[in-house]
Amino acid sequence: MKAIVIGCGMAGSRVASDLHARDRDVKVTVFGAERHPPYNRIMLSTLLAGRAAEEDLAMTGPPAGMDVRLGVRVTAIDPDRRLVITPDEVVEYDALVLATGARAVYPALPGLDAPTVRAFRTLDDCRAIVAGAATARAAIVLGGGLLGLETARGLAGRGLAVTVVHAGPHLMDRQLDAGGAEVLARTLDGLGVAVRLGARALRWTGAGLDLADGTTIPADLLVLACGARPDTDLAAAAGIAVRRGVLVDHALRTSDPHVWAIGDCAEHDGTVYGLVAPAWEQADTVADRLTGATTCYRGTRPVIRLKATGLDVAAMGSVADHPDAEVVSFADPARGTYARLVIRDDRLAGAVLLGDNPSVGTVVQLFDRDAEVPEDRRSLLLGRSFGAVQPARSESPAFLPAQALVCRCNSVTKAAITDRWRDGARTVPEIVTTTRATTGCGGCRDAVTGIVDWLAAAESEEGSP
Q: Is it the case that residue 341 has pLDDT exceeding 50?
A: yes
pLDDT at 190: 93
Q: Say yes or no: 220 and 235 in one domain.
A: no
The vertex-298 CA angle with 267 and 9, nearest 5°, equals: 50
Q: What's the whole-number mean pLDDT along residues 114-131?
A: 96
Q: What's the whole-number mean pLDDT along residues 209-220?
A: 97
Q: What's the whole-number mean pLDDT along residues 287-291?
A: 97
Q: Quote the number of domains for the chain.
A: 4
Q: Say yes or no: 421 and 283 in one domain.
A: no
Give the model confidence (pLDDT) of 364-412 as tens digits. 889 988 899 998 888 888 765 444 333 334 456 766 777 777 887 777 8
The region, left, alpha or beta by phi > 0 then psi within -120 to 50, assigned to residue 442 is left
Give the residue among 73, 62, 53 at the shortest CA–CA distance from 10. Answer: 62
| Residue that wins the pLDDT comparison between 152 and 402 | 152
* Alpha carbon distance 62, 305 (integer Å): 27
Here the CATH number for the domain that contains residue 96 is 3.50.50.60
Of 253, 275, 290, which residue is a domain's last? 290
Q: Say yes or no: 99 and 138 in one domain.
A: no
Using the 8-state DSSP alphabet, how is residue 365 labeled? H
Give the model confidence (pLDDT) of 40-52 as tens digits. 999 999 999 999 9
Share of the chain above pLDDT 70, in %: 94
Average pLDDT, the chain: 90
Q: Say yes or no: 150 and 215 in one domain.
A: yes
Q: Is it the case that residue 441 has pLDDT exceeding 80?
A: no
Find all residues with CB under 8 Å of 152, minimum gap 6, and list them. 141, 162, 164, 188, 193
Q: Say yes or no: 132 and 200 in one domain.
A: yes
pLDDT at 399: 63
Q: Say yes or no: 99 and 234 in one domain.
A: yes
The vertex-409 CA angle with 407 and 413, nearest 5°, equals: 30
pLDDT at 390: 39
309 falls within a domain: no
* Alpha carbon distance 310, 153 (integer Å): 9
199-212: buried (b, 16+ CB within 10 Å) or exposed (e) per residue? Answer: bebeebbeebbbbe
Q: What's the whole-number mean pLDDT along residues 26-41?
A: 96
Q: Say yes or no: 184 and 271 in one domain.
A: no
Helix axes 445-462, 428-435, angle to 10 degrees: 120
pLDDT at 394: 40
Count the neighbouring beta carbons within 10 Å of the beta carbon of residue 43.
Answer: 20
Give the model confidence (pLDDT) of 312-327 as tens digits. 999 999 888 788 889 9
pLDDT at 443: 67
The CA-atom distances, in angstroms, between 327 and each of 344, 347, 361, 409 are 9, 11, 19, 28
Collapsed DSSP state (helix, strand, coil) of residue 351: strand
210 falls within a domain: yes
Q: Is it the case that residue 464 has pLDDT exceeding 60?
A: no
Q: Is it the case that residue 152 has pLDDT exceeding 50?
A: yes
366 falls within a domain: yes
**Least-confidence region, from 51-55, 286-290, 379-383:** 379-383
Q: Say yes or no: 32 and 128 in one domain.
A: no
Structural domain including 184 reads 117-224
Of 189, 224, 259, which residue is a domain's last? 224
What does residue 90 show for φ and ψ, rounded to 5 degrees? -125, 130
297 falls within a domain: no
pTM: 0.88
pLDDT grade for 306, boundaries at 50, 70 and 90: confident
25: exposed, middle or buried (Cβ count in 10 Å: 0-12, 13-18, 19+): exposed
62 falls within a domain: yes
392 falls within a domain: no
| Longest CA span, the chain | 73
251 falls within a domain: yes
pLDDT at 383: 63
Q: Say yes or no: 193 and 332 in one domain.
A: no
Q: Say yes or no: 250 and 190 in one domain.
A: no
* Alpha carbon distance 27, 16 (integer Å): 10
Give the model confidence (pLDDT) of 221-268 as tens digits. 999 999 999 999 999 999 999 999 999 999 999 999 999 999 999 999
Q: Say yes or no: 211 and 235 in one domain.
A: no
98 falls within a domain: yes
Q: Say yes or no: 199 and 259 in one domain.
A: no
| Residue that wins the pLDDT comparison between 440 and 272 | 272
